[in-house]
Amino acid sequence: MVQKISPNLILLTFCTLFLYSCTSGSSCADTQTPPPVRYEFGLPIDSFRIDTAFVREGETLGGIFNRQGATRSQIAQISTLPRDRFDVRSIRPGKTYYCFYQTDSVGCEHLVYWVYCSSVREAAVLHLTDSLHVERIVKPVQTITRTAEVVIESSLWNAMVGNNLPVELALELSEIYAWTIDFFGLQRGDSIRVLYDEQYVDSARVGIGRIYAADFYHGRKWQEAFWFESGNVHNYYDAAGNSLRKAFLKAPLNYKRISSRFTYARMHPIHKVVRPHTGVDYAAPAGTPVVTIGDGVVIEKGYKGGGGHTVKIRHNSTYTTAYLHLSKYGQGIEVGRHVSQGQVIGYVGSSGHSTGPHLDFRVWKGGTPVDPLKMVSPPAEPVPASLRAEFDSIVNVRRPQLKVQ
């Protein structure tokens, strides 16, 4: 008697054998997912041979193309590049560029793309096939919010560098606390906590964004700073809503007119030669009181050649002012003495090289002369009462975030 085999059993046996053959790799196509295509500057980089080099001193784009094997036709087309898309004169020594080569069917290699990186974010891709044209690439910036805490051993700058933190933090914090902390008087053991944004392009750190909050320990006390922005209000404040900055007076005296402005090319009225005049001359009667535009410390007092009787005041780690051609000094004005905004530090005169009574007023920001008439006085108003609830909620959020995990 012949036993009949069930059709279902035959089908099950066939499927089992088929699956076994596939897993053993004997007869089935490879089902693994292919690796993803890698792109850089919008180009599939695995499809090319890529050379990396740096622009040499005095090198031109034509010289680079010639050295990297471009054709005569490609070199000739350089002059057709529109300057608004890529100015060939803008390439700078030390900047990185990439050469993309492709091999044709007979084994000959051709330069098909040339990429110039003007910064870590921006690049120009020159397409060399067919007619030469340019594509501008701007890489996205990724922002990561971080918290850091450092102890100061010598300076804020060294503290950042020693802890592998962006040096831009030191610069920004110096600006934020310029009016409340004397950075020339930092002591060993001072410390700072800060909540801020770090910016990355690809995996490279390229700078910092907003500093949201900070807490500086100096002089045996903590000084908080919170960034608050709402409508037209945008500044750093302490927890009580007071501005960390103070406003300067608009001018250091009551004057009749401005007789000379800030310029790097003024004909000197006495010497008759062109010289920089990095200040503002206020014409006023002799004896007119001259006041300091802000709180500070007298760092110079004396007769300074062409400047005559001069007083120089350091207001903070950022701003310094000087008052020249004085007839005499204010009462109690001495080097090292603290002065308050509006305090008389001298009187208008004509000492030094001068054609008549006036005050030569000068301002430096970070050691660089700035035009006093264009200097923007920082706001000193507290958080408006109408925004206090919103500000307090920001403080309540930022304080816990300042704690380093």
By percentage, how much of the chain surpasses pLDDT 70? 87
Strands (DSSP E) along 78-232, which ranges? 96-103, 109-117, 122-127, 133-138, 142-151, 191-201, 204-218, 221-230
Handedness of CA 337, 338, 344, 348 (dihedral sign): positive
Encode pLDDT of 155-211 as tens digits.
Answer: 888 899 999 999 899 989 988 887 778 776 788 889 999 999 999 998 888 889 999
Residue 65: φ, ψ to 5°: -60, -45
Tell me the CATH number of domain 142-237, given options 3.30.465.10, 3.10.450.350, 3.20.20.150, 1.10.10.10: 3.10.450.350
Question: Of the CATH numbers 3.30.9.10, 2.70.70.10, 1.10.1130.10, 3.40.50.300, which one belongs to the domain with range 257-370?
Answer: 2.70.70.10
pLDDT above 70 (res 405) = no
For strand 309-314 and strand 296-303, is the pairing parallel, antiparallel, or unpaired? Answer: antiparallel
In the CATH scheme, what architecture does the domain 39-138 have? Answer: Roll (3.10)
β-strand partners of 217: 191, 222
SS3 362: strand
pLDDT in tens, 35-70: 888 888 889 989 999 999 999 999 999 999 999 999
Give 369's pLDDT tier (boundaries 50, 70, 90): very high
**Where do the domains of the chain lie?**
39-138, 142-237, 257-370
Q: For 68-102, how does the pLDDT look when each residue is reduced to its tens digit (9 = 90+)?
A: 999 999 999 888 888 888 888 889 999 999 999 99
Distances (CA, A) of 190 to 150, 155, 159, 222, 327: 9, 10, 10, 10, 43
User: 235 near 245, Cβ under 8 Å?
Assistant: yes
Asked if domains 39-138 and 142-237 share a fold, the reply is: yes
In DSSP terms, 115 is beta-bridged to: 98, 125
Distance CA 149, CA 159 (A): 10
